[in-house]
Chains A and B, each alone.
Chain A
Amino acid sequence: MIETTSPAPVGEPRDGSYLSPLAGRSIPLTVLTPMPRIWAGLLRAVLFLRRLLGPSRDLQEMSFIHFAHWSVITRFPGQQRRSRYAYLLFRSDFNGAWGKYIDAFSIEIPARMALIWGWSFGFPGALPPKPFRRYIARNDLPVDHYFSAYPQASVNEVAAALRVRDAYQKHVGDADPTQFTDAWRRFLDEAQADLYSWEERS
């Protein structure tokens, strides 16, 4: 058995890590990393505990993740002879520049990152952010097809749209037409911060 210790790769493997995508607001990230089988149960317990605790507030406030899913795989579906290692499969749909997304994880919740990826081989530590960014970039699987039902709407815009809808229903929805001016003004007062009106670049 030959042990391999590779130096940090030269240059960022994923080009333009701080540039935002131009087409659509969502980016997929799909990361599959091997880990010793003995830790699979423990990591599942960590994720189960996480689920009991509910969605993490700080991630919600960062508001750039539509969805993120974690699965611990000890046997791939249909697999007869088990692999040497267990695998952690992570996939997410997020908004904005790729580098920003990974950095925010490293800086905001380094301990939780270590609790989730620390079992996996190749994990360089969550801080400083650059080696972790390279690790994720190296393991990000190329997606052959990607779909979003609302490609131009970020997490922020979805939240804004639902707030505007509720405010509109509350103030204007059933208002008497003669009261429209007042109702509209109340609606504006409540919802104006969400009423930006800059059309997307075509």
Chain B
Amino acid sequence: MKATTSVTVFARLADGKAAQVRERLRAYEKDSPFGGVPGTHFARLVVLEHAVPQHRPVFRGWRARLLDLVTHGGRAPRPDDLPHPYLMLTATVDGDAAGFFARLRALGPVADDIWGECVDYPRHSADADEFVAFFADRSLRADYTFAGAPDGTVAEIQDAVRLRRQLAAFAATAGDVSDDALLRRFRTVEGPAEPVSRPEPDGTLELADIQGLVLRGFGHHGVAAHVFLQVTSGASARRWLRTVTAEVTSAAEISDRPTRALHLGFSHSGLARLEVTGTELAAFPDEFRAGMYAREPKLSPGRGTEPWQVPFDRPGTVDAVLLLSATDAVELDPWLARLRREAAESGGLRIVGEQRGKRMADPEGNARTFIEHFGFADGLSRPGIAGYDNGTSGDVLPPGEFVLGLPDVDGDIAGRDLPVDLARNGSFLVYRKLEQDVAAFRAMTEAAAEPFADGADGVAAGLVGRSRDGKLIAPCPAGAHVRRANPRESLPGGRKLTRRHLMLRRGIPYGPYLPPGLDDDGAERGLLFLAVVGDLGRQFEFVQTEWLADGNVFGRGAEEDVFATAGGSQARILLEGSPPAYVSVPGPVVTCRGGEYFLLPGLDALRALGKRD
């Protein structure tokens, strides 16, 4: 006998009762009646008044068009609807359907509350056979059922889930019951050869129209300044835009290794204040229109925007960002002063903030790599762009993953619905100011260091998935940060699915480096996380919520990424080994202090935007 049964019941609702029944069902939100029906895995109730009207879609591919021709003769559907309103029950239950219907009767008056408005409903006081027959007669069979979880009754699953949690908590807190030798858990391995990126443009990309930052990170620029602007007058700001666009660095200039570079982005509020039309704005994706502030409660569950700083402490404050970078401060400072002055004197802009950034050289003296504040080499792994990075060994992605208007990894056109003269050759920029608590990170790794042969460094390597010099470790723990940020082959579906969620990271650290061994100086430091994407939802938000803020896809339940979590007394990251070790994360080591989604328009789009009147 199979373990579970699919049950679907269409009970006709008396005319005019749909709204009332719907309201009653919605009131059960907190306290489900099905909690009192043993053997119910899942259940749902839907008040069904009408079928959704269908239209003939615009077909993108010949296969879909051919299929439509075969199945529908290429004709649009004619109107059709349900014969009358229904209350639909769908459930997956242990045992057979009749047994489940009999258990529904045990709900008593609650069952009458749910189905009381259905035609011919016998009420729970009716005899059992009659009650069961009411449901059985209105049942619909499932032609095919798929079950993804192993077989088990509701009681077995609930008991096993509880047991697993208790055993895991015991394993995590009991400490080691053995006297094992020190653990040398990981060995370092040479990672796959990193793409030695030499641009090999093949003409696919219109370099002169794409902002330089999209294609390159300007690694030779040691300093950066980000100026946050608010638009106070659309007309004056557009006038300013006409002048400043001439200084924006295009990708065509990259090969000259310019000593300084300027990039320019607008948030949704910025485009609105530049008087881009409502119709054009409505075409932008939800993420961009809402802005990062509104998305943050879901991007950082349980943390939200509470710790955000000026100018990001309120939504819609930052309309534009000027991203300046240069080889050194001598090159940067006078230019920055002039650009600030021009913006301030434009009559249409207000400077609402400035953020400095500075690269930190590797203390080991490796000139090719930079480090971030926790001491790890950064920026080692990044995807290449087809048509530009040809000949590299890493993941090479279609250009639409990063440049709007071009083919993306799904065979679609990136930003297909966006207004062409605004979005063509543009990109989306994710800007996040991530404060790092270096003292807390060191304390956390030292607290867990005891069973590790190489002490706190071993803990850090296990959490990050790399040793400090950038070598990957093997076996890479399931909860390691590098694996969570890009799981490569480690998830079902492999690279075919994981490569849809990669970003071009353009970050730079801020604040002074705190050398190991020194006490916390209280200074603010962290990473200005910048990422270039073609789809904010599929690339950035997906990684943030599915891979960093949750561990389920890695088989780790609610375990969060060490650099995304707020931590807490019950927060522990499991590092496999013999025996396994648990690293407690008592508080946050990385905290977002603000951020926004920007559009980095193509240069033609910037010029056109400046000329709108």
Contact = CB atoms under 8 A, between A and B. Distances in A.
A39 B72 CA distance: 10
B545 A97 contact: yes
A143 B570 contact: no
Contact of B283 (A11, A33, A34, A48): A11
Interface of A is mostly: mixed
A171 to B, nearest CB: 11
Interface string A21-35: 010011010101111
Nearest to A127: B411
Given A76-B86, A130-B410, A64 B148 contact: yes
Interface in A70-105: 70-73, 76-81, 83-85, 87, 89, 91, 93, 95-97, 99-100, 103-104
Interface string A136-157: 0011011111111110111111
Given A30-B46, A121-B72, A150 B157 contact: yes
Interface of B is mostly: mixed
Nearest to B496: A107
A77 to B, nearest CB: 4
Interface residues of B, number: 136
Interface in A48-76: 48, 50-51, 55-56, 58-73, 76
Contact of A141 (B48, B78, B410, B560): B48
B43 interface: yes
B58 A8 contact: yes
B32 A8 contact: no
Contacts of A122: 54-57, 77
Nearest to A2: B76
A61 B546 contact: no
B58 A7 contact: yes
B334 to A, nearest CB: 43
B317 interface: no
A162 B152 contact: yes
Interface of B: 4, 6, 8-12, 21-22, 25-26, 28-29, 32-35, 40-48, 51-52, 54-61, 63-64, 67-68, 71-72, 75-83, 86, 88, 90, 92, 137-150, 152, 154, 156-161, 163-165, 167-169, 171-172, 177-178, 282-283, 285-286, 295, 298-299, 301-302, 410-412, 416-417, 478-479, 492-493, 496-497, 500, 537-538, 541-542, 545-546, 549-553, 555-560, 568, 570-574, 576, 578-580, 582
Given A8-B417, A156-B553, A200-B558, 17 more contacts: A11-B285, A30-B88, A47-B144, A70-B145, A77-B9, A80-B83, A83-B82, A96-B546, A108-B493, A125-B61, A147-B42, A149-B35, A189-B578, A192-B576, A193-B478, A193-B555, A199-B568
Interface of A: 1, 3-8, 10-12, 15-20, 22, 25-26, 28, 30, 32-36, 39, 44, 47-48, 50-51, 55-56, 58-73, 76-81, 83-85, 87, 89, 91, 93, 95-97, 99-100, 103-104, 107-108, 114, 118-125, 127-131, 135, 138-139, 141-150, 152-162, 164-165, 168, 181, 184-185, 188-189, 191-201
